[in-house]
């Protein structure tokens, strides 16, 4: 019987007083009957059939008139259905010894065991979750079958390799910097301290920023390394990661641009030469599954070389399992990273790892609030990202809803599931990648990904983010001045739920699904 299905099938009343009334039992009845049969089997000749509507019926041997019940009849008129349950139970219990709370009734001279009605939740637990999954077919959404609610292909990014090639105070030969120029790396000015100390501080900050998205991963880093050091660390991480995904983050702001063959640059031991590393070698060390982040000018060169490598790789041939490799690159092959002091030098990394901070900084200069807000106030936003009752938590929650909704409405179903529902860190990076595309395109720079995503920087949901950010930021001066001031939640989610209700009233199968669905589920 299905969950919550409470049915009764009633047989017609016989003309004879000795005929019985049989009712189809529900889950509770079967449980009660089982207990009764086990405890009174030796003392009762008749078997209990049902406990329903407060009446307990027995089915005795029809050839034995002594066991028939002549004293209990069920009236045909409907007035008897209004009878008080307590009275019905008492009248039936006087013969059968069932339902009497005090347990003082005896059957055929044998004392009856007292028994209370079992709560319904005992029965509900028997068919919850596991039974639902067992009976639910699985299949793609377009096949018409309902997919199981628990995804079976979840993955985890367990190890991360952070490579920082800055070579502070020495500019690469192919870079001509403007003045003033973008300088911040992980929101730290590398020229505000000694080069080696700045390098250590920056990589620790990068480590901390990634830990917000995947705190349980093992992070290893290299500072201005040689090719041999990179090889050793990559092979070691793959060895210990086993089947888990490995993150490879490359900051190449202190080395030349990648070559047309997709080679990235490192140093020799004496820092007198730049040594190239083909992407094919890096791929052979990290293997699969893996995700690469390339924050350098002309990063699209690396993506193009990797795609060619995948096309020539035997593992990508027909019948073979495709390699699970994901790439995020800061710009296209012919582009240079933004140098305006409006942005940090690692604007792409900042979008991926600290999206709220850079999104508000970028929005602040374009908002009507730019006269009352400055960067110092934005850096002091109170609260925690995990606490929705605070300003920072509310902004983070709205940003997650916005980017999730954009991806759900734009991407194909299979690609959305792979990038936004399979791996926690990958989902976070791709949500933030949508922000990177919006911000960096304003500086004539287009981030690239593999698999490639359609353009999302002009999606109308970004207008909803701007409005929500402006409403929240308008409270920032008051919250900072008065510690006792209470943060007023944004009306964003209420407005999106209202839009969803409108779709429920006026939508149809012929129209596209409601774009607010990810927000409603969140």
Contact 491, 471 (CB under 8 A): yes
Per-residue pLDDT of the chain (522 residues; tens, 9 = 90+): 443 443 444 344 444 444 443 343 444 444 444 444 444 444 434 443 333 344 344 444 444 444 433 343 444 444 444 444 444 434 433 333 444 444 444 444 444 444 444 444 444 444 444 444 444 444 444 444 444 445 557 889 999 999 999 999 898 988 888 888 999 999 999 999 999 999 999 999 999 999 999 999 999 999 999 999 999 999 999 999 999 999 999 999 999 999 999 999 999 999 999 999 999 999 999 999 999 999 999 999 999 999 998 877 655 444 444 678 999 999 999 999 999 988 999 999 999 999 999 999 999 888 877 777 777 888 888 888 888 888 999 999 999 999 999 999 999 999 999 999 999 999 999 999 999 999 999 999 999 999 999 999 999 999 999 999 998 888 888 888 888 888 888 899 999 999 888 888 887 777 778 888 888 887
pLDDT at 264: 97
Q: Rounded to 5 degrees, what are φ and ψ at 432?
A: -75, -25
The DSSP bridge partners found for residue 222 are: 163
| Sheet of 245-251, strands arranged across | 218-223, 157-164, 245-251, 290-295, 325-329, 448-450
**Whether pTM exceeds 0.85:** no
- Tell me how far apart the alpha carbons of residues 154 and 62 are, in angstroms, rounded to a whole number: 61
Token readout for 270 is 């004496």
* Nearest-angstrom CA–CA distance, 334 and 327: 17
Give the Å distances, CA to CA, from 233 to 131, 230, 302, 378, 425: 46, 5, 20, 37, 21
Contact 227, 221 (CB under 8 A): no
pLDDT of residue 412: 93
Predicted confidence at residue 157, as pLDDT, reads: 95
Question: Which residues, 6 or more positions from 310, have their beta carbon under 8 angstroms from its beta carbon?
Answer: 316, 323, 325
Structure tokens at 261: 């063959």
CA 159 to chain centre: 20
Residues in the chain, how many? Answer: 522
- Relative to beta strand 47-52, strand 55-59 is antiparallel
181-to-42, 178, 366 alpha-carbon distances in Å: 94, 5, 20
Site of tokens 């003033």: 180
Rounded to whole angstroms, how far apart are CA atoms 431 and 461?
Answer: 13
Give residues with Cβ within 8 angstroms of 169, minimum separation 6.
191, 195
- Write down the pLDDT at residue 350: 97
The residues that bridge with 266 in the sheet, in sequence order, are 275
Could you tell me if 375 and 361 are in contact, meaning their C-beta atoms sit under 8 angstroms apart? Answer: yes
Phi, psi angle pair for 514, to nearest 5°: -70, 130
3-state SS of the chain: helix, strand, coil percent to 5? 40, 15, 45
- Cα distances (Å, whole numbers) of residue 56 to 11, 91, 192, 235, 285: 15, 10, 87, 73, 74
- Distance (Å, rounded) from C-alpha 180 to C-alpha 195? 20
Q: What was the pLDDT predicted at 192?
A: 94
CA distance 148 to 130: 11
183/187 Cα distance (integer angstroms): 9
Nearest to 247 by CA among 313, 328, 306: 328
The predicted pLDDT at position 447 comes to 97
Tokens for 259, please give them: 């070559």
């Amino acid at each position: 019987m299905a969950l919550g299905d409470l049915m009764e099938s009633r047989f017609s009343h016989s003309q004879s007083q000795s005929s019985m009334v049989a009712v189809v039992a529900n889950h509770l009845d079967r449980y009660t009957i089982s207990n009764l049969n086990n405890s009174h089997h030796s003392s009762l000749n008749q078997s209990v059939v049902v406990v329903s509507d407060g009446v307990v019926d027995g089915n005795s041997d029809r050839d034995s008139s002594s066991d028939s019940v002549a004293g209990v009849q069920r009236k045909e008129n409907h007035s008897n259905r209004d009878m008080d349950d307590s009275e019905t139970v008492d009248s039936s219990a006087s013969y059968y010894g069932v339902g009497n709370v005090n347990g003082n009734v005896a059957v055929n001279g044998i004392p009856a065991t007292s028994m209370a009605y079992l709560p319904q939740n005992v029965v509900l637990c028997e068919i919850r979750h596991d039974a639902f999954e067992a009976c639910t077919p699985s299949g793609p959404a377009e096949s018409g079958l309902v997919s199981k609610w628990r995804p079976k292909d979840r993955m985890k990014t367990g190890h991360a390799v952070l490579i920082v090639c800055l070579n502070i105070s020495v500019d690469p030969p192919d870079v001509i910097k403007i003045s003033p120029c973008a300088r911040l790396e992980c929101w730290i000015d590398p020229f505000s301290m000694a080069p080696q100390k700045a390098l250590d501080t920056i990589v620790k900050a990068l480590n901390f920023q990634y830990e917000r998205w995947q705190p349980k991963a093992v992070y290893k880093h290299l500072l201005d390394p040689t090719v041999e050091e990179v090889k050793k660390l990559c092979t070691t991480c793959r060895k210990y990661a086993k089947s888990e995904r490995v993150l490879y983050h490359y900051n190449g702001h202190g080395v030349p641009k990648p070559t047309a063959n997709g080679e990235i640059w490192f140093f020799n031991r004496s820092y007198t030469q730049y040594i190239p590393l083909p992407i094919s070698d890096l791929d052979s060390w990290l293997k699969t599954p893996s995700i690469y982040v390339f924050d350098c000018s002309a990063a699209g060169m690396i993506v193009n070389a990797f795609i060619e490598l995948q096309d020539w790789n035997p593992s990508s041939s027909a019948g073979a399992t495709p390699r699970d490799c994901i790439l995020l690159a800061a710009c296209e092959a012919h582009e240079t990273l933004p140098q305006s002091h409006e942005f940090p030098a690692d604007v792409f990394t900042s979008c991926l790892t600290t999206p709220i901070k850079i999104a508000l900084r970028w929005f602040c200069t374009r908002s009507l609030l730019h006269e009352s807000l400055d960067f110092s106030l934005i850096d002091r936003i109170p609260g925690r990202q995990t606490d929705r009752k605070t300003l920072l938590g509310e902004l983070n929650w709205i940003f997650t809803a916005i980017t999730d909704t954009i991806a759900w409405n734009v991407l194909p179903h299979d690609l959305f599931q792979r990038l936004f529902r399979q791996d926690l860190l990958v989902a976070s990076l791709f949500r933030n990648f949508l922000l990177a595309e919006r911000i960096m395109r304003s500086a004539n720079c287009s981030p690239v990904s593999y698999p490639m995503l359609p353009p999302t920087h002009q999606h109308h949901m970004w207008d909803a983010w701007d409005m929500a950010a402006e409403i929240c930021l308008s409270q920032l001066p008051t919250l900072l001045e008065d510690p006792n001031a209470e943060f007023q939640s944004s009306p964003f989610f209420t407005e999106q739920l209202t839009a969803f209700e409108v779709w429920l009233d006026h939508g149809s199968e012929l129209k596209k699904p409601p774009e607010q669905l990810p927000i409603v589920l969140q």
